[in-house]
């Protein structure tokens, strides 16, 4: 009898053990599926669902810009899963991986140019935005502002498509990545993003349009500080007195002031793979002609698409050193690249397509003639000029060495691209990408 009882007890324990193991497997798979769901989402933007006429107009602008990309073959930029040619040096680093969502932080090692050291929130925790609401004074957990104001490194992602209308300007702390991949995230129709007095920030994969000036009043900038703000200018992204910043694969349109402004001594900035459309003053690099701190400004502008519907400042530069590489310009109403106060501008392998009325790419914003600005180093190398476009050079650019070339990775890339002029496949996927689980972003 005792032996029988022992055998029955052992069988019971064995059954219990296998039941527990089965439960663990099911629970584990459920957690993995829940995590993977954070990078899935509808393929269409779920934006501007209110009756606000301004919001609807901005949505139409973004859709029009996307339609241009589709019509010109700008989706599927090549590589694994793409059909438009080779990835550029940034996208080659991560976009061919169908399991990109398993390690989003791989992106942090893919930057080039002056902002290439930006790693954002790499090494920190993931923070998931679950609430599209906003309170500038008392942010709730789960909102974008609550994550952006933390003092520790964070990689911020979104659990679904969102239309975020901020209560006031959003001030982003150091060591942050805002990563919109896997969801269609729009920020706009109110104050937008401010990067001020910080370092090491990545902004990737957002749609930003319809930005308006901020209101005067208190804004919480961090968990330790609530301060009075006079009101932001209405830029999509303002970068002030900050360094090591990377703005990549975003779609910008129709804001009150600038789309990306870099001022007040900011440096070590890369602005890459973005789509800019339907706006007047696109990009200001440098505060004013007498702001001496901007002499040290270093900015790389690469693989962006400028147009349609742009007027000027692509970019407008002051005092510092600016490398403008393999961007695609589709017409401009005033000028494409301009500046004042003796900036160094290296324009390399860009495509400048003029409108029927305005042909000159460049503009020196001063009343004096060549006797004054003739020594400014404005260099054009390998640029492609269409429909009568032309670039007025100045200074001695015979011995220039643009800093992007100092990377062996870049030298290898240039050697493999078999091109010493504009390469359309390098800009073919400019703007926020469409990303979902288990396939490369396109």
Residue 181 bears catalytic tag: no
Cβ partners under 8 Å of residue 405, min gap 6: 411, 414
Q: What share of the chain is helix, strand, coil (3-state, %, to 5)?
A: 25, 30, 50
Two structure tokens written together for 329? 């310009």
Dihedral sign (CA 101, 106, 107, 108): positive
Q: From start to end of 149-289, where are the E strands?
A: 154-158, 162-164, 170-171, 176-179, 185-188, 193-196, 199-204, 207-209, 217-222, 225-229, 237-240, 243-248, 251-253, 260-263, 267-272, 275-277, 279-281, 283-285
- What are the beta bridge partners of residue 130? none
How far apart, in whole angstroms, are the C-alpha atoms of residue 289 and residue 272?
A: 25
Instruction: Say how many C-beta atoms besides its own lie within 10 A of residue 333's C-beta.
Output: 12
- Give me the catalytic one of 220, 313, 364, 437: 313
- What are the beta bridge partners of residue 94? none
Residues 403, 113: contact at Cβ < 8 Å? yes
CA angle 367, 324, 354 (to 5 degrees): 65
How far apart, in whole angstroms, are the C-alpha atoms of residue 177 and residue 203?
A: 6
How far apart, in whole angstroms, are the C-alpha atoms of residue 260 and residue 112?
A: 18
Q: Which of 55, 234, 220, 64 minimizes the C-alpha distance to 150?
A: 220
How far apart, in whole angstroms, are the C-alpha atoms of residue 252 and residue 123?
A: 29
Element (H or E) spanning 344, and its range?
strand 344-348
How far apart, in whole angstroms, are the C-alpha atoms of residue 184 and residue 144?
A: 14
Q: From start to end of 52-136, where are the E strands?
A: 125-129
Residues 89, 116: contact at Cβ < 8 Å? no
Q: Which residues are catalytic?
A: 313
């Amino acid at each position: 009898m005792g032996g029988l009882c022992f055998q029955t007890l052992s069988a019971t324990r064995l059954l219990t053990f296998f039941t527990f193991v089965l439960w663990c497997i099911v629970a584990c798979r459920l957690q993995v599926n829940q995590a993977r769901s954070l990078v899935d989402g509808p393929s269409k933007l779920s934006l501007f669902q209110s009756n606000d006429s301004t919001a609807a107009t901005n949505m139409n602008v973004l859709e029009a810009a996307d339609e241009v990309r589709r019509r010109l073959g700008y989706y599927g930029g090549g590589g694994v899963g793409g059909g438009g040619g080779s990835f550029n040096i940034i996208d080659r680093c991560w976009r061919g991986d169908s399991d990109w969502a398993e390690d989003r932080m791989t992106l942090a090692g893919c930057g080039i140019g002056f902002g290439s050291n930006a790693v954002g929130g790499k090494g920190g925790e993931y923070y998931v935005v679950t609430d599209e609401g906003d309170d500038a004074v008392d942010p709730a957990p789960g909102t974008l502002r609550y994550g952006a104001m933390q003092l520790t490194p964070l990689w911020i992602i979104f659990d679904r498509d969102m239309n975020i209308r901020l209560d006031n300007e959003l001030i982003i702390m150091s060591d942050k990545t805002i990563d919109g991949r896997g969801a269609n995230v729009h920020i706009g129709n109110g104050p937008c993003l401010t990067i001020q007095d910080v370092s090491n920030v990545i902004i990737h994969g957002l749609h930003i349009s319809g930005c308006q000036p901020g209101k005067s009043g208190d804004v919480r900038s961090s968990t330790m500080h609530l301060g009075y703000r006079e009101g932001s200018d209405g830029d999509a992204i303002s970068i002030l007195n900050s360094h090591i910043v990377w703005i990549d694969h975003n779609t910008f349109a129709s804001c009150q002031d600038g789309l990306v402004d870099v001022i007040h001594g900011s440096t070590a900035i890369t602005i890459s793979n973005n789509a800019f459309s339907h706006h007047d003053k696109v990009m200001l690099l440098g505060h004013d002609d007498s702001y001496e701190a901007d002499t040290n400004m270093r900015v790389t502008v690469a693989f962006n698409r400028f147009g349609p519907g742009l007027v000027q400042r692509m970019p407008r530069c002051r005092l510092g050193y600016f490398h403008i590489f393999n961007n695609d310009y589709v017409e401009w109403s005033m000028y494409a690249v301009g500046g004042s106060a003796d900036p160094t501008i290296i324009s390399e392998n860009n495509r400048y397509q003029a409108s029927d009325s305005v042909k000159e790419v460049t503009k020196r914003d001063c009343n004096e003639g060549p006797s004054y600005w003739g020594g400014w180093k404005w260099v054009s190398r390998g640029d492609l000029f269409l429909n009568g476009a032309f670039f007025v050079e100045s200074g001695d650019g015979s011995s220039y060495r643009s800093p992007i070339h100092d990377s062996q990775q870049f030298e290898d890339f240039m050697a493999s691209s078999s091109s010493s002029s504009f390469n359309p496949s390098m800009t073919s996927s400019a703007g926020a990408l469409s990303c979902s689980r288990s396939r490369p972003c396109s």
